[in-house]
Amino acid sequence: MNSAASRSLKTCTKSEFAPASSSSIVGRHSRTTTRRRRTDGPRWISAHVLRFHRWQALTLLATLLLGGCAHYAMPRRARAPAPLPPNYQSSARISAEELSRSLRVQKSAYRVERVTMAYRDGELSHTNVVDWYLPRAPQSGRPVPAIAILPILGGGKYALEEHFAALFSRHGYAAALAHRDKELGRDIRSPEDVDRLLQNMVLETRSLIDWMKRQPGVDRSRLGLFGVSFGAIKAALVLPFSDDIRAAVLGLVGGDLGYIFTHTTERGLAKRCQRLLEKHQLTPEEGERTLNALITYDPLKLAPSVDPGKVTMVLATRDTVVPYEKGLELWKAMGKPRLMKVWAGHYSALLFLPCIDSVVLDFLDEKFREPSIERARLDERSDHRSAIRGGPGVSPALE
């Protein structure tokens, strides 16, 4: 065999019968993968993004989540509040007597005093605790607004309420954080007791407002109410009875208490209501009708007597603790005050807390703005416009 034939035989044997090297296998696989990627482009791109750019997906999700809120302004022609029905005893009072006071927290922007209160109705009824947040004395020496913060129903701590109390104090407002009554609801043995309990809560909150007005350094003409969940329900009940309130923030609130009590998903309240219904052998539907017939202190029934210009509401569209549809029903009955909707549940609404803080402070700043300061701002704007136009002094619209 000559050399040329030998070289040809070796080449044929190596190419047809010898096993392929690992590099050639990888090369063919990569070419096949490339062809597959080219023919299945969108699917491969999605997998690539999820595999190597998860942080971008998370950033997009956070952006969509933080953008999941909507704001509704109050109608330009808001309705006037109706007078209270004659069956409500608006003249009834419970006196609040201060028993003790001690310094609890001292910070650069504010201090907190722990005040023990005794609520009296003829004779001593019970005591409760109020944390009194006082901002650092303003340089102007003018009295400051004060806000009563009403607590949620459950929980052993006051993390949410303390957050807003500190926020208000840093902003220059005084705040009274009323602790919840530890015996609340334990003396309810019949549906009739529910309305009596709600009435007593209204009277105690009004006495707390009277106590705030007596505190030195507080502007009696600039008072507010703040509440979330059950605290907001209490604030909505107090509003028609307190003409002194200039601003009220109602978060995750609702009306139609018979429905709320029998349909809530809050475990503690649902268990209490279930025990009450079983004791009186009532179905949830019968219990709802019975409670609605007996409860007179219901935010929905008192809503026509609320001035919508004093209110800002925050509702969560996925709320089942205070059902969202009942919050929307109360909003309409109150004359459609300012509303902020968040696409969240009762507890996940905390994700929107920075946005809620901003909305609440803007609303309070507008309502607590002093007329003299606002007039000075308007005059300053008028003088500036007149200087630009070359005209004199104050605009005739402001005279």
* Per-residue pLDDT, 387: 44
Cα angle: 192, vertex 197, 199; to 5 degrees: 100
Instruction: Return d(Cα 87, Cα 89) in angstroms, integer.
Output: 6
* Per-residue pLDDT, 26: 43
Q: What is the DSSP letter of 265?
A: -
133 class by beta-carbon count within 10 Å (0-12 exposed, 13-18 middle, 19+ buried): buried
* Per-residue pLDDT, 255: 97
Instruction: Return d(Cα 386, Cα 399) in angstroms, integer.
Output: 14
* Per-residue pLDDT, 20: 45
Instruction: Kindly provide the b/e burial profile for residues 275-308, where b requires at least 16 CB atoms within 10 angstroms of the residue's own CB.
Output: ebbeeeebeeeebbebbbeebebbbbbbbbbbbb
Phi and psi angles of residue 117, each rounded to the nearest 5 degrees, phi first: -110, 145
Rg of the Cα atoms in the chain:
32
* Per-residue pLDDT, 358: 94
Instruction: Return d(Cα 322, Cα 320) in angstroms, integer.
Output: 5
Of 359, 336, 361, the C-alpha closest to 349 is: 359
All structural domains of the chain: 88-368 (3.40.50.1820)
pLDDT tens, residue order, the chain (399 aa): 454 444 444 444 444 444 444 444 444 444 444 444 444 455 544 555 455 456 555 555 555 555 578 889 988 888 899 998 888 866 677 888 899 999 999 999 999 999 999 888 765 577 889 999 999 876 567 899 999 999 998 767 899 999 999 999 999 999 999 998 766 656 677 888 889 889 888 999 999 999 999 999 999 999 999 999 999 999 999 999 999 999 999 999 999 999 999 999 998 888 888 888 898 899 999 999 999 999 999 999 999 999 999 999 999 999 999 999 999 999 999 999 999 999 999 999 999 999 999 999 999 999 998 654 444 444 454 444 444 444 433 333 322
What's 97-144 look like in SS3?
EEEEEEEEEECCCEEEEEEEEEEEECEEEEEEEEEEEEECCCCCCCCE
* Per-residue pLDDT, 184: 62
Show Cβ contacts of residue 396 under 8 Å, excluding neighbours closer than 6 positions.
Answer: none
* Per-residue pLDDT, 65: 53
**Contact indicator for 344, 82 with CB cutoff of 8 Å:** no
Instruction: Return d(Cα 135, Cα 147) in angstroms, integer.
Output: 12
* Per-residue pLDDT, 32: 46
Note the pTM of the prediction, 2 decimals: 0.76
Of 84, 238, 252, 229, the C-alpha closest to 148 is: 238
* Per-residue pLDDT, 12: 42
